[in-house]
Every structure is written in C-alpha cells, then in structure tokens.
Amino acid sequence: MNVILEFLIISIIFLNYYLLSTTSVRNLIKYAAYQGVIAALMPSFFEFHPSALGFMIALISLKGFVFPWLLIKLSEKYNIKYESKSKLLTPLFTSFLFISVFFLSFYLSYKLNFGSNNFHLLIPGSFITIFTGILIIIIKTKTLSQIVGYIVLENGIYCFGVSAFVKEPFTVEAAILLDIFVALFVMGMAVFHIGKEFNQLEVDSMNELKDTIEIIESKEE
C-alpha cells in the first residue's frame, strides 16, 4: 500500500510542476481536477472506513466533475484559452520557483518532524501543493486561473489533513469543502459579472480602473 501511496504523492508533485508552468487555462482546470481526484483517493490507502465512502464520492464528484465543468463553461463563454504573456511565466522562472518551493517544503517538514513513517512524504507533498496554489494565484493574471489556484491550495490542505488527522480527516475536510464550495460559487458569480461588465477577465486590467477614477477626481478638482 505504501508503494501506491508514494506513486500518488509523486504524481501530485509533478502535477504541481505542470500546473505552475502551463499557460493553457483549459489544461490548468483539467489537471487541477486530476490532482483533486488523486488527493481524494489517498485516505483509502491508509485505513479504509466504509462510512467515509460517501464523503469520498462527494469529494471526487465535486473536485473532479462539478468544479471543472463550471470553470470550463466559464472559459468557453468568455473565450479564455491562454494566459497573457508575462515575464513571470517563463519556463525557466517557473522551474526555479518550483524547485525552491520543493526544497523549502522538504526543509519545513523536516523541521516540523511529524513522526510516523507512513505520512512522512505526504507532508512535504502537501506543503508543495499549498505553495503552488499560492504561487498560481500570484503569478497568473486570468481570474479563472486564480480560482484554480484556490482549488489547488485546497487540495494541499486536504493532503495535509489526511496526513495529520488521519483518524478524523473528514470532519476537518467537510468544513473546508463547504468553504471552497461557497467561495467558488461567489467567485463564479463575480467572474460572470466582471465578464458581463468589461468583456474580459484579465486581472491586470483592473489596475487601470483606479487610474481612471483618479483622472476623474483630478478633473473634478
């Protein structure tokens, strides 16, 4: 069982690398969904509680089907295919970011020292996922990518939950899942309204909004 778990952790780590460096919004959504499904499968390789099956199915259907469906529909509606080009999204820079996050997470989990061997590798894996989520929100400028960053962040927290609270991961996770579910719908509505108002979903363009207000103010003076 441990070997399968290791493969799952490695696949989650490499998915993080891909998520950080890809410029295609559709692939970002798709691979974040794969990551969510893999993370959701994880607890069954520790101790399997039959009572948790319903929760796992709910998690897989939400992260694997409902969220991506919603986001891909939004991306098709506003015709968002690729990230806009920026200096932060070059392959070299994202690789550098990923490698530093990789080492930072392993160092942190080494310092934190959560005993037990089984969860040994899951903790750095979850740290990497959390940091990747944050970095996606920071370096990508499309609103949809930032929502995906939020989902990736949640995947990481879930992995951490699995490793730290393996007896009762579901009470913790249920609360987080409710949060993200509500947040995603709020974000989806916000995106919908932003798209309707400005006809584009580029976060960088929001900076210009402030300037126009200043210009108006200066004119009033």
Partner 1 sequence: MENIIIFLKIIIILFLAPLFLGIINKVKAFFGGREGQSVFQMYYDLFKLFNKGIVYSKTTTLIFRYSPVIIFSLIFFANLMMPSFGMKGLFSFDGDFIFIIYLLGLIRFLIILSAMDCGSSFEGMGASREAWFSVFGELSFFISIIVLSSITGETSLYSMFSKLNLSLWSTNSAVLALILISLFFVLLVESSRVPFDDPNTHLELTMIHEVMILDNSGVDFGFMIYASSLKMWFFASFIANILLPSSNYSFLYGFFAYLISMFFIAVIIGIIESTIARVRLLKVPQLLLGSFSISLVALVFQVFRG
Q: Which amino acid appears at position 91 of this protein?
A: P
Residues in the site for partner 1, rule: CB under 8 A? 3, 6-7, 10, 13-14, 17, 91-92, 95, 98-99, 102-103, 106, 110, 120-121, 124
Closest CB to partner 1 among residues 82, 185:
82
Burial pattern 157-183, b for ≥16 Cβ within 10 A else e, equals bbbbbbbeebeebbebbeeebeebeee
Closest CB to partner 1 among residues 6, 202:
6
Least distance in angstroms from the C-beta of 47 to partner 1: 21
Contacts of 130 (CB under 8 A, 6+ apart): 153, 156, 157, 160
Closest CB to partner 1 among residues 121, 177:
121
Least distance in angstroms from the C-beta of 10 to partner 1: 6
Spatial separation of the C-alpha atoms in residues 203 and 163, rounded to whole Å: 35
Least distance in angstroms from the C-beta of 56 to partner 1: 23
Closest CB to partner 1 among residues 1, 213:
1
Least distance in angstroms from the C-beta of 99 to partner 1: 7
| C-alpha separations of 56 from 32, 170, 185, 188 in Å | 17, 9, 21, 24
